Structure formats: structure tokens, C-alpha cells
Amino acid sequence: MGQGRSSATQVMVLGLAIIMCVLAITQPTFGASYTVGDAGGWTFHVVNWPNGKSFKAGDALAFNYDRSLHNVVAVDEAGYTSCNPQSGAKVYQTGKDIIKLNKGANYFICTFRGHCQLDMKIAVNAA
């Protein structure tokens, strides 16, 4: 009986080890988090804020701003260039928006009158 108990214990330990390995492999990975505009937040003249940073798909951008003065709108390249969002563009307006980056080009603008034209927009490329 002592040998059977030892074998059962070994099987249980091996089973737990396999479960732990599977959990470690399948555990979601979280990307880096960036505050747009750093301490100044989402405001005018942030167009160059992404320069020199390396972004990856799944990284999160935190947009901090006064929601009575600004918003964040995810747009395509044409909307970014023209400062006009396409129909159905996603609008964020909580003042503390967290947006995960998709692989490739990600564009964001403020659609309050004149803000995008004052470089309240960013283009982020995520690898």
C-alpha cells in the first residue's frame, strides 16, 4: 500500500506541475502603458509626443484631459490628416481614457473646434 500512495502522490504532483506550466504559457501578457503627453496630458501640441518611443500592439495609451474642454477620437489616416473623423469613429470623452493599440497605425485627434489644427493629435505605429 505504501508504494501505491507514493505513486498517487507523484502523479498528483506531476499533474499540478503540468497545470502550472499550462497556466504560465496561456496567461495573458499585458503591454506597456504610456500617458499621452506625459505630465502635461492630452493637450495642444502633443503631435510629436510619440517620437522616440517604441510601441507594440496591446500597449495602452492613457489619455488624461479635462472632458469639458477636449475629447479623443480614434480615426483613420485620412481623418488624422484632415482633422475630420470618418462616420462611426470611436469617440472617447471620460477625461481618463485607456486605449489599447492595434498592430500597425493608430491615429487619435481631438474634435473640439480648432484643437486638431493646433496639433492635438497623435499618430502611433505599433509593431
Q: Residues 54, 114: one domain? A: yes
Q: Residues 68, 120: one domain? A: yes
User: Is residue 109 within 8 Å of residue 80, measured between CB atoms?
Assistant: yes
pLDDT tens for the chain, 127 residues: list them. Answer: 555 556 665 655 555 556 554 444 544 456 999 999 999 999 999 999 999 999 999 999 999 999 999 999 999 999 999 999 999 999 999 999 999 999 999 999 999 999 999 999 999 999 9
Domain range for 120 is: 33-126
Whether the pTM exceeds 0.85: the reply is no
Render pLDDT for 54-73 as a digit per residue (tens, 0 to 9).
999 999 999 999 999 999 99
For the chain, the domain total comes to 2
- Three-state SS string over the chain comes to CHHHHHHHHHHHHHHHHHHHHHHHHHCCCCCCEEECCHHHCCCCCCCCCCCCCCECCCCEEEEECCCCCCCEEEECHHHHHHCCCCCCCEEECCCEEEEECCCEEEEEECCCCCCHHHCCEEEEEEC
Q: Residues 60, 120: one domain? A: yes
CATH (domain of 51): 2.60.40.420
